[in-house]
Structure formats: structure tokens, C-alpha cells
Structure 1
Amino acid sequence: MLEQEAARNDASATTAEARKRDRRNLFALSAGHALEWFDWAMFGLLSVYIGTAFFPGDSPLSSTLNSLAVFAVGFVARPIGGVVFGMVADRVGRRLVMIGSIGVTAAASFVIGVMPTHAQIGVWAGIIVVVCRLLQGFAAGIEAPLSNAYGLELVPNRPGYVAGFMAFFNNLGNLLAPLTAFATSALLGATAMGEYGWRVPFILGGVLGLVVLWLRRSLPETLITESGEVANKASTRTEAVVVWRGVGSRWVSVLAVIFIVGAIMAYNYTWLSGLPSMATGTFGEDPTGVFAVSTTMSIILTLGAMVLSKIIDKWPLSRWFVIARIVAIPTIFLVLLYTGGGIGSLAAVMIGGSLVLVVNLTIFNTVANSLFPQYCRGTAVGLGYGIGVALFGGTASYLFVWLQSIGLHAVFPVYIAVLCAISVVLYIIAKRRNGIFVGE
């Protein structure tokens, strides 16, 4: 009896230690994920200051547009980064890429924060900022898909927990970006913010990158080579041809990932920036009220992801995805209900849509990774993720506002609904044809 009790206690202690280790590893991954999106969002939020400092034009508007064009360049770089670094991750291991990704992002953020302006060094200022943005795009192209794949390999038996845990930090990064910009502006004032205060969040992002690098240094490698060894620089590498053969044989799954990612990113950016931009730019809503609504939505997404991490594993991941994505189809038509008329109607639309958005945003990355075996997962998901974000996510806000400006506002939700429907159909086909490797 005493021996049985001791055995139970030992097993309980082992389980507790394992869960503690899992949380520690996932935090190291997720903290970098949050920082990645903090730096990414900050560039767009502070584009008016960046444009004035590095890309002067004939007017403040033209300077801002120049800066936003550079912001878009980062989206173009993401598919390339996804493929290149995904290939490295599938050949030599996940850990090296995850450390390099956050190092590049943090360094680029710090450089932007301390760079001399156009008035000081001329055109070189703009060129260096463009290079930094390209580097951040390359890094972001692999950070999101690979960090989720890495998390699933570290904690293979709890995909829902991994999805929710990492989505929480992803949303936290997006939430902290506007809060940091707001706090900096409030503390320094409008004049100081325009002169030098805008640099503070970028320098902060660079410094925090050192903390994340320290956290990630202890991550274990999870890639197992064909010889059965854990990958490292000295071990046998999976040949590139083997990886690409795996990707090519699952081309339907790659196509499915493009739409799984692209559809929800288009939905996300509609809520994240499209609706707020239309509220302030077209309908003249109070910017403070719009900011409050956007912040409330971000809080719902952040806390909702953590709640979902506790319950997703109760159902197969495929069931969560199909139901959540089908529900998103009618929900996108909520955008038609907002035609101005005050913050109240904007809040009803944005918060109502966010309740469906939170489920889709929490699981989409894990669903994408579930469609591939480990040996080609980094390359395949990096490719599909990058293309999906560049084609559909990066263009959604612009398309939403532009269609509204020419009187075709009703066309946009149909477009998103079609993307969502295609993603469900392709997922089911890919699942039946190639199988799934996580979450069932």
C-alpha cells in the first residue's frame, strides 16, 4: 500500500514538473511571438512620425503614405522568409531559427529607434529603414508558423493548450503596441513625441529582444532527423530534396493553408484596422472613442485565447476549425451594420465580431501545422502562411475602405465569406487526401 502511494506521489510530481517545463518552454516561445507582433504593429501605428523623419514628402499625408508603403514591403518579404527559414528549420532544427528570428527583429527595431533622420544623413536614412523593414518581414515570415509548430512539438499531447497559450501572447503583443504608443505620447506630450518620443517604443522593442534571446537560449531541439537523432549542426541533415518532395506531395494541404491563413487574416485586419480607419477617416468618429473600442476588442481577443486554451482539447481540433470558420461566414456581414452614427454602433459591430474572431485566431495556426508531418512542416506552413498573409491579409484593410469609398461596401463581406468557405472545403479535402498529424 505504501509503495503504491509512493508511486502515485512520484507520478504526480513528475507530471507537475513536466507541466512546469512545458509552461517555461512555451513562455520562451510566446514572449518572442508577442515581441514580434509588438514591433510589427508599432511601425504602422507610428507611421506618421516615421514618414516625417525618414521619408519627407510635399505634405504630412505624402510622408505618411511613403511610410505605409514601407510597412507594406514587410508583407512582401514574409513569404520569402517563410520559405527560406522554414527550410533551415526543417534541415538543421527549430531552435536555431527561433533564436535568429527574434534577434533579427529586435536588432532592426533598435536600429530604427536610433537612426539619424533624412535631414541628417539624406536618402541613406530611408534606405536603411527599408532594409530593416525587409529584415523584419523575413523574420516574421517564419516566427508565427514555426513558433506554433515548435510549441506543438514541445507539448504534443495538448494542441489546444498550445494554441491558446501562444495566441494569448500574440494578441498581447498587438494590445501592448497601441498602449505603449499612447503612454509614451501622454507622458512626453505631442511636441516631444514628434521630435523624439516616437523612438522610445522601438528602442524598447530592441532591449526586450535581449530578454527573449536569453529565454530562448535554453529551448530544447525538437527536430528528429531520419537517423533518429535530435538535429544540431553536427547531425545528419534532412536533404532539401526530401523536404520539398514532402511539400510537393501535399500541395493541396499547402493550398489549404493559404486560405486557412488568408481568410482569417483578412477578417482580422478588417476588424483590427479597416473598421477603425473607416470610423475616423470616413465617418469622422471621435478618435479617442475609436481607440477605446479597439482596445476593448484587443482585450477580448487576449483573454479569450487564454480561456480557450483550457477547453479546446476537449474536442478534436478539426471540429473546432470547421464550426468556427462556418460561423465566421455570416458574422462578417456585421460590417454592413456600421454606417456611422456614433461609437455605440461601431462598438456593437467590432465586439460582436470579435467573439467569433477570437476562436478562429486562436486555432488557425495550429490547424495549419496539423496538416503536415514534422520533417517538412516548417517549409510547407511557412510558404502557405506567407502567401496567405501577403495576398489576403495585407490587402484587406485597404480593400475594405476603398470599396466603401466607391459605393461597393456590400461587396467586401461577400469576398471574405467566399474566402472562409474555400478554406473549409480545402481543409476537408486536404485532411481526407493527406491526413492530419496533430489534434485528433
Structure 2
Amino acid sequence: MNVQLRRAVASSFLGSVIEYYDFLLYATASAVVFNKVFFSSLDPLVATVASFGTFATGYLARPLGGVLFGHFGDLLGRKRMLMLTMTLMGVSSFLIGVLPTYAQIGGWAPVGLVVLRVVQGISVGGEWGGAVLMSAEHATSRRGLWASFTNAGAPCGMLLSTAAMTATASIVGERAFLDWGWRVPFLLSVALLGVGLFVRMKVEETPAFQAVEQDRRRLPLVEVLRNHPKVLLLGVGVGLAAFVAQSTLTTFVLAYGVQAGHPRQTVLNALTISSACAVVGIIGWSALSDRFGRRPIVLLGAVAMAVFGFALFPMVDARSTPLLVLALVLGQGVIHPMMYGPLAALYTELFSTANRYTGASLGYQLAGLGAGFAPLLFAELRRGTGGTAAVSYSLAAFCLLTVLCVLALKETSGRDLMPGKEAGLAEHGTR
């Protein structure tokens, strides 16, 4: 492992941790705080739906960030865009931490919350593609393993954000936490931003991008949409179930577990444990995808998740802490990483260097809409049916879509990412 690859992997992992700390901190807050702080005039269940709605706006903005930063990342370089995305995320999260509440400024509070959430979404939408490419394009072997550190940053960010919320609530108490304590984890974003920028400055531009310096596409998005629409759509379908499962196992289960009778702290502790397991799971399954291929690992995960969805809620409803922890560890720490870990390398391998940032980012972030809207959809389904069976069937349906899309793609793990050796890459990405 050469020096630049080591720096690229460390930078991508740390950047992803910081981005997802900020982005998923909002997810935790939307489930336990924002419905009381920014939507206090609404019925509790309606307030929860409204809170999840603002959560979803961040995911809606992610494809925009993928296109915007992907465009300039394909033209100007991966590193420049990554410095900018990290700065945007840190600043927007800090501003959420100082945002006045509904009781202080009325309707302007949720409006400000939505605007800052959109900025967060744009930032993380541009971050992922660049971070994955920094690792994947520096790697000469074991690309699935090295690229997966970017995806491993997501549960690690969840781990830190949940731990920050938990520690703050424990220190200041319930009342003070709702009054002002929830702001502290958001304000810490500035310190994380400084560390992240320092590390990222030491990484060089990728060899693959430097090799196409004289042959950059003026409109990478047009190139992707015109020449590779089928690959893009299949890529979205491959990742969709992973994102739906991700938000189901974190944001939705957090709110559902509390409503089912578990203490909020117990659910947060269970999420912390499962997030730590997910970091290991993502890296482990991605390493196996280098040996066995991306398709078999993702297929196994999608089938397992479709089945597990019917056991998840009965395990939560049992009101047993060990069963709750087991459910989240199995779901988030073992099964979900099969679907999610190999995506970093897979999306990278679907597109050529000249439009790889744009194509990979757009496919991944469009799939990511599933994570934004799943909690909102499932909250509405539960409110309409009074149960969770519809949620489990919906999750299984998304998993079936992923299975069909994976089967329609050829294996990508053996492809060379360097220009001149990738001819026909996307055109031959389907069966």
C-alpha cells in the first residue's frame, strides 16, 4: 500500500465520517428532538411525520449535489470538490446548531431548518463520489476493500452522532437537552471540519484523472444520460434497497422503538452497538467482493434483508433489550453491509474516467432517495394501517428490485479504471 493510497483512503474515510456525522446527526435529531422543537404546534404523530419530511429534503438535494460537484469534479479534479463539500457541510451543520426554535421565531424556524438541510444534502451528494474515486482510482488492486472505507464512514458517522447525542443528553438531562443540549453535537462540526480539511490537503489528485487531463468532457452529465442511461438506471435499482434498509434500521426504528415502549437511551445504545458492527461488516463484505465479485455479495444481502424485514419489528415489539440489540446488529451490522459495502467499487466500475464522478455520484444519490423517503413513507403506512406488515412487505419489494437489477448487470470487479484500458466499460455493463 503506497503512501498516496494510504493518504487517499484515510482522507476518504475521515471525510465520510465527518460528512455522515453531520448528515446523520440530523436523522437522530429528527426522530427524537425536532418534532418537539421545530414542530411543537402539531399533533405528536403528525409532528414526527413533518420532522421526517425535513429529513427527506436532504436526500432530495443529494442528486443535485452529485450532478453539480460531479460535473466540476470531472472537469477540474476530485480533490478541489472534496475540499468544498466538506466546508459546506461543516458550516451548514454549525448553523443548524444556532438556529432559533419555533417558539422563538415561529414558522421561520422550520423554513431555516429545511434550507440548511438542503445545503447538507447538496454537500453529501457531492462528497461521496469524489471520496470513493480518490480511493478507487489510487488503488491498483483490492479496489473493493479500499473503496469501502468511504462507505464505512457512514455507520462510523452514525456511531459518533448517536454517541454525541447520547452523551449530551446524559450530561445535561432531559429538559436541558430539549432546551439547548441538542445543539452541542451540531456545534462540534466546526472542530471536525478543521481536522478533515487538514488531512484532505495532503492527498494528491488521482492518476486516472491526471491521465485524461487533455480529454475532459465539457458536459459529463449529457454524456452519461445520452450514452449510458440503462447502466445508470440499473445502478440506481441496485442501490435502492440498501438505502431503504439503512434508514429503516436507523431513523425509522429509532422512532418506532421509542413508541413501542423502549427507553430512548436504550434504542440509542443499540444503534451505537450496531453502527460499530456495521463498520466491520462493510469492510469485510467489500473485501470478499474482491474475491467473489460484487454481484454475489449484493444478491445475498438483498435476499437476506427481504426475509429479515419480517422478523425485525416483532423483535422490536418484544420490548426486550437483548432482542432489540440483536435485531439491529443483525440488520445493520451483518445483512445491510452485504448490500451496501460493495456499492462503492461497483458504482466506480460502471463509468469511464471522463464522466465517472458524475455517473457514480448520480446513480448513488438517486438510489439514496430511498433512505430519505422511506421513514416518511413507512410512518404514513403505519399511521394508515396501524401495523408494520406493510412496512415489511415494502422493504421486501425494494429488495426484489435490487435482485433484478443486479442480475441485469455483468460483474464489474475485474475492470481496469485507467483511461485506455476501460474502453466500452459502461456499454458492456449490462447483460
TM range (shorter): 0.7 to 0.9
Q: Which amino acid aligns with 1:369?
A: T
Q: Percent identity?
A: 26
Question: TM-score normalized by structure 1?
Answer: 0.83
Return the match for 1:266 from 244, 258, 276.
Answer: 244
After TM superposition, list the pairs within 5 Å mapping 1:76-225 onto structure 2.
76-117=60-101, 125-222=109-206, 224=208
Whether contact under 8 Å (2:212, 2:354) holds in the other structure is no
**Kept in 1: contact 2:75–2:216 (CA 8 A):** yes
| Displacement of 1:159 | 1.3
- Tell me the equivalent position of 1:422: 401
Other-structure match for 1:341? 318
Say how many residue pairs are matched. 414
Deviation of residue 51 (structure 1)?
5.5
> Any idea what SS the aligned residue of 2:137 has?
helix
Aligned pair in 2 of structure 1 residues 409, 206: CA closer, same or farther (>3 Å)? same
Deviates more, 1:320-329 or 1:47-56: 47-56
Distance 1:266 1:219, change over 3 A: same
Tell me which residue corresponds to 1:32: 15
TM-score by length of 2: 0.84
User: What is the rounded CA distance, in whole Å, between the counterparts of 1:250 and 1:417 in structure 2?
Assistant: 28
Aligned counterpart, 1:374: 353
Q: Distance in 2 between matches of 1:339 and 1:115?
A: 34
For residue 23 of structure 1, what is the aligned residue in structure 2?
Answer: 6
Go from structure 1 to structure 2 and tell me whether the alpha carbon gap of 1:103 and 1:91 turns closer, same or farther (over 3 Å shift): same
Kindly state the Cα deviation for residue 189 of structure 1 after the two structures are TM-superposed: 2.5
Aligned Cα RMSD in Å? 3.1
Alignment partner, residue 387 of structure 1:
366
| 1:282-321 map, 5 Å | 283-308=260-285, 311-321=288-298
Q: CA deviation at 1:164?
A: 3.5
Query: Is the CA contact 1:74–1:134 (under 8 Å) kept in the aligned structure 2?
Result: yes
Q: How does 1:318-329 map to 2 (within 5 A)?
A: 318-329=295-306
Q: Check 1:54–1:326 CA distance in 2 against 1; reply closer, same or farther (3 A cut).
A: closer
One of 347, 364, 367 as aligned partner of 2:343: 364
> In the alignment, is the contact (CA less than 8 A) between 1:369 and 1:377 conserved in 2?
yes
Letter paired with 2:75 = R
432 and 244 in structure 1: CA distance in 2 versus 1, 3 angstrom threshold: farther
Correspondences of 1:38-49 after superposition (within 5 Å): 38-47=21-30, 49=33
Q: Cα–Cα, structure 1 residues 409 and 201, in superposed 2: closer, same or farther, change >3 Å?
A: closer
More moved, 55-64 vs 419-428: 55-64
CA gap 1:229/1:208 in 2 versus in 1, 3 angstroms: same
| Deviation for aligned residue 1:208 | 0.9
CA contact (8 A) 2:85 2:124 kept: yes
The runs of 5 or more residues in structure 2 that have no matched partner are 418-424
Per the alignment, do residues 425 and 221 of structure 1 end up closer, same or farther by CA in structure 2, a change over 3 Å counting? same
Larger Rg: 1
Counterpart in the other structure of 1:7: none
Rounded Cα–Cα distance in structure 1 between residues aligned with 2:341 and 2:177? 34
Q: Which moved more, 1:306-315 or 1:95-104?
A: 306-315
Alpha-carbon distance between aligned partners in 1 of 2:10 and 2:41, rounded to the nearest angstrom: 43
Distance 1:396 1:114 in 2: 28
Tell me by how many angstroms 1:301 deviates: 0.7
- Indicate if the aligned counterparts of 2:282 and 2:337 stay in contact, CA closer than 8 A: yes
1:431 alignment partner, SS class: coil
Shift of 1:143: 1.6
2: CA distance, partners of 1:357 / 1:27: 23
Task: Label 1:437 to 1:394 Cα distance change in 2 as closer, same or farther (>3 A).
Answer: farther
